Amino acid sequence: MVKERIEALRATLERHNYLYYVENRPEISDFEFDRLLRELQDLEQAHPEWDDPNSPTHRVGSDLTSEFRTVKHRFPMLSLGNTYSLDELKEFIDRIEREEGEVEYVCELKFDGTAISLSYLDGQLERAVTRGDGEQGDDVTANVRTIRSVPLRLQGEGWPKLFEIRGEVLMPYASFDKLNGEREEAGEQPFANPRNAAAGTLKQQASSVVARRGLDCTLYQLAGDEVQQMNHWEALKAARKWGFKVSEHGRLCRSWEEIAAYITEWDERRKTLPFPTDGVVIKVNDAAVRRRLGFTSKAPKWAVAYKFKAEQALTRLNEITFQVGRTGAITPVANLDPVQLAGTTVKRATLHNAEQIALLDIREGDMVYVEKGGEIIPKITAVELKERRADSEPFQYIKVCPECGTPLVRYEGEAKHYCPNQNGCRVQIVGRILHFIRRKAMDIEGLGEETVELLHASGLVGNVADLYDLNAVQLSPLPRLGEKSAENIIRSIRRSVDVPFQRLLFGLGIRFVGETTAKQLAEHFRSLDRLRMATREELLETEEVGEKIADSILEYFAKEENLLIIERLRAAGLRFEAEERKTASDALAGKSFVVSGKFTISRDELKRLIEEHGGRNVAAVSGSVDYLIAGDKMGPEKRKKAEKLGVKMLSEEEFMALISATERAEQRTEEEAQQPEQVKEENPVQGTLF
């Protein structure tokens, strides 16, 4: 009797969950839903033998921390080709119709979230996996179970025994605004946009955190042996019947004119949607036509994504203020009347430098056009001169540091102004410490911006070397810390002494020495002492190091205060020498590579493979570069320069083949060297591939 009641409650709750989160037509009150859920929770707690991972009670998530395991997709998750041009899109349609005649297309909104693949077995959610590199991704099933619009059990009938459905995990604007409000109140960095927030939330270790953040999920593509024969429009209708949240805004189109009309309509209407979209996906409807068109190595030939142009808004610029960076660089910031742009409320925008302000003749009180570069960073693109006040006056750029009052300087060849008071300007001091402890540098956990500000104000930390003199007794009395937090911070500081030399070098914050340049310097000089003693000519021999970087390095090591910090870091036990090189093979030994564009795997992974097989990564194309690995949307200037200099370009597939072929050749050479001479003579084609 109890088991039957549990099953009945689960079915009832799932039905009402679907009506509320997918159909948007609830039939019972929140109070009644919660009452039923509490009854089910009590019964399951009393009878753990009837627990089910797909029970509605698991949607609240768990506080247990778990690592994500990598699993292989049953069917590869290929990416789509992108275009921003209607002319290019028309060419795509014409190419298909030259091959296939008249074709039906399904136009759907392109959701701006993070891709997900859901597997269902016997009508129940089996697994949820991120896209990853397209071949394998992270198992995030526990987190996805908390998303109310994802069915844990399918409804209706006719669903295959085993299939996958792909879609996008989204963060609606309401959830995004609420989350960022909470983060700002807690003194944490807000997320840049809903897409980043959705991706970050989905990778939370505690599913209870995911459950609180209000994610949504829209599905748009079936995959599996039993669904391959279904036309796409039919598949979407079937998915809706099975309980999936499928967008009601899709449309079946039978001509270019209908496709263009859909794009025009939604380029405007998307602003009214409660979730982020960044384009339209156009897919061939007919399954047989899809099979004939096939795939490239990276994407289907029967689908493409048209990306909307960056959204623009007109608003008033109230005031120009200034930020001081850790290197002393001054950045002017436009403070705006709040305006909705690409789904978020924009209040500030970068103005870059004095030249940019003068070029656009930007003045306080102006009505300005703002857009999001890459849909992320707001920037001012123009002034509406018709709206300018009659008493408006040209903006006067500041002459002294807004933090410490030191007269600003402008170095030759640079657009920005700088505060030269490196060791007396509070913002620069705190900024250098924050840079030193960041994840890609020393990776010291527990020290946020507020804590570092507090340590500096308390006189405990005046430079990065002071961190290694701290103890838990000094930290625990500070506001918002306590004994446990203090001990965790000290442990993290102690662990950082084992960080590799290249990351220490990056963490020192030498002007113009970014992560890649630090890596090249560490590789070239192999120790901090050799780098410190290097001449300008020796520095210029290093890949990635030009005159500006070389002069900055010399200037850094010429300052006595920097040398004192270095000696204290040495005494604390930090690594001042590079580790011995470990390579999987010498397949790429002596070869240098530039990686540009988008690939099926991350660029970091490609660079890791290059180094793992003895090659070197270089940021810029030059005559000394051996190969340019060219991905989708590679920068046109890099391509042009590579062609001019005769640098060989490789696709991702050709690069992988280069590694494999060289490894096989090395392996054959080793095997032959180990064989008796007569065996080699009797088997002249041994190891040949046919």
Known catalytic residues are 110
Q: Name which of 180, 196, 141 is nearest 164 in CA terms.
A: 141
Q: Name which of 165, 63, 49, 176 is nearest 115 in CA terms.
A: 165
Q: Round to whole Å and give the CA distance between 286 and 188.
A: 49
CA angle 647/650/651 to nearest 5° reads 150
User: Are 73 and 135 in contact, with CB atoms under 8 Å apart?
Assistant: yes
**Computed from CA positions of residues 84, 88, 93, 95, in that sequence, does the dihedral angle turn out positive or negative?**
negative
Element containing residue 313 per DSSP (H, E): strand 312-324
DSSP SS3 for 71: strand
DSSP SS3 for 207: helix
Q: Round to whole Å and give the CA distance between 352 and 460.
A: 34
Buried b (16+ CB within 10 A) or exposed e, 340-369: ebbbbebeebbbebbeebeebebbeebbbe
The CA-atom distances, in angstroms, between 600 and each of 34, 200, 299, 383, 630 are 44, 20, 10, 41, 12
Q: How far apart are the first and last CA of the chain?
A: 66
Let me know if 577 is exposed, middle or buried by CB neighbors in 10 A (0-12, 13-18, 19+).
Answer: middle
What is the C-alpha R_g of the chain? 29
CB-based contacts of 490-496 (< 8 A; 24+ apart in sequence)? 492/443, 492/444, 492/445, 492/446, 492/447, 493/444, 493/467, 493/468, 496/437, 496/442, 496/443, 496/444, 496/574
CB-based contacts of 122-126 (< 8 A; 24+ apart in sequence)? 122/161, 122/162, 123/153, 123/154, 123/159, 124/54, 124/152, 124/153, 124/154, 125/54, 125/150, 125/151, 125/152, 125/153
User: Are 289 and 302 in contact, with CB atoms under 8 Å apart?
Assistant: yes
User: Are 232 and 167 in contact, with CB atoms under 8 Å apart?
Assistant: no
409 phi and psi angles, rounded to 5 deg: -125, 160
Element containing residue 40 per DSSP (H, E): helix 30-46
Q: Name which of 83, 70, 170 is nearest 127 in CA terms.
A: 70
Token pair 């989160």 is found at 21
